[in-house]
């Protein structure tokens, strides 16, 4: 009788020790996931050096915008960038048919069906005048390719592959939800931008690296 009472606590302790060992193994199995989340800063620097050489590009995609009043619209988007020159075309936006915003660092022009052209010093001013809101075209030239604008940053998060996964700059929070390989270069193809007034979602269907098409 004495022996059986002694064995039961021993067996109980064995159960506890085995359970703790299993918990330890489970914890160990999650370590690679945590390590993979540590940013590779060498890869980040090399990737940024590649992006700095990327001055001519274009893409076809889709954009959806929703404001703080829960009003929104969506459109097909064609963006072409060559140095400081930009050519942005929206199809089906706000029921207006095609809208084109183009220009450079000194002048921006907005054209739409049945409307005279509008001119301003920058595209943001054009959008504010015509639509009552704007997206930061100057910052997007950088953000769309996965790099911060050369201005002060509030937040920058780099993933384990050295790619930008999130940034906060100029009052906008930008999340990079997906990347695609374009000529062996990782470029974003799904991102979301938020500020207190607007929520913008962008899906890029096709990147093209090179100069502007003929217009």
DSSP 3-state assignment of 131?
Answer: helix
Nearest-5° angle of CA 96, CA 116, CA 87? 70
pLDDT per position as a tens digit, 34-83:
333 466 789 999 999 999 999 999 999 999 999 888 888 888 999 999 99
**Is the sign of the CA dihedral 207, 163, 51, 200 positive or negative?**
positive
pTM passes above 0.75: yes
The CATH class of the 41-209 domain is mainly beta
pLDDT per position as a tens digit, 104-114:
989 999 998 87
The kind and range of the H/E element at 120 are strand 115-120
Tokens of 151: 């201005």
């Amino acid at each position: 009788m004495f022996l059986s009472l002694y064995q039961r606590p021993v067996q109980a302790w064995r159960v506890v020790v085995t359970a703790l060992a299993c918990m330890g193994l489970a914890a160990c199995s999650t370590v690679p996931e945590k390590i993979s989340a540590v940013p590779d800063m060498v890869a980040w620097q090399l990737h940024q050096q590649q992006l700095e050489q990327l001055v001519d590009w274009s893409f076809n995609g889709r954009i959806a915008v929703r404001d703080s009043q829960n009003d929104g619209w969506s459109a097909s988007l064609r963006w072409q960038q060559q140095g400081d020159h930009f050519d942005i075309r929206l199809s089906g936006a706000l029921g207006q048919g095609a809208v084109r915003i183009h220009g450079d660092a000194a002048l921006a022009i907005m054209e739409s069906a049945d409307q005279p052209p509008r001119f301003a010093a920058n595209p943001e001013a054009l959008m504010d005048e015509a639509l009552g809101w704007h997206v930061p075209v100057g910052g997007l030239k950088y953000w769309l390719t996965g790099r911060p604008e050369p201005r002060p940053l509030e937040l920058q998060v780099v993933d384990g592959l050295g790619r930008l996964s999130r940034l906060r700059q100029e009052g906008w929070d930008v999340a990079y939800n997906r990347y695609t390989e374009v000529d062996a270069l990782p470029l974003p193809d799904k991102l979301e931008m938020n500020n207190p007034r607007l929520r913008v979602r962008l899906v890029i269907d096709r990147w093209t690296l090179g100069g502007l098409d003929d217009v």
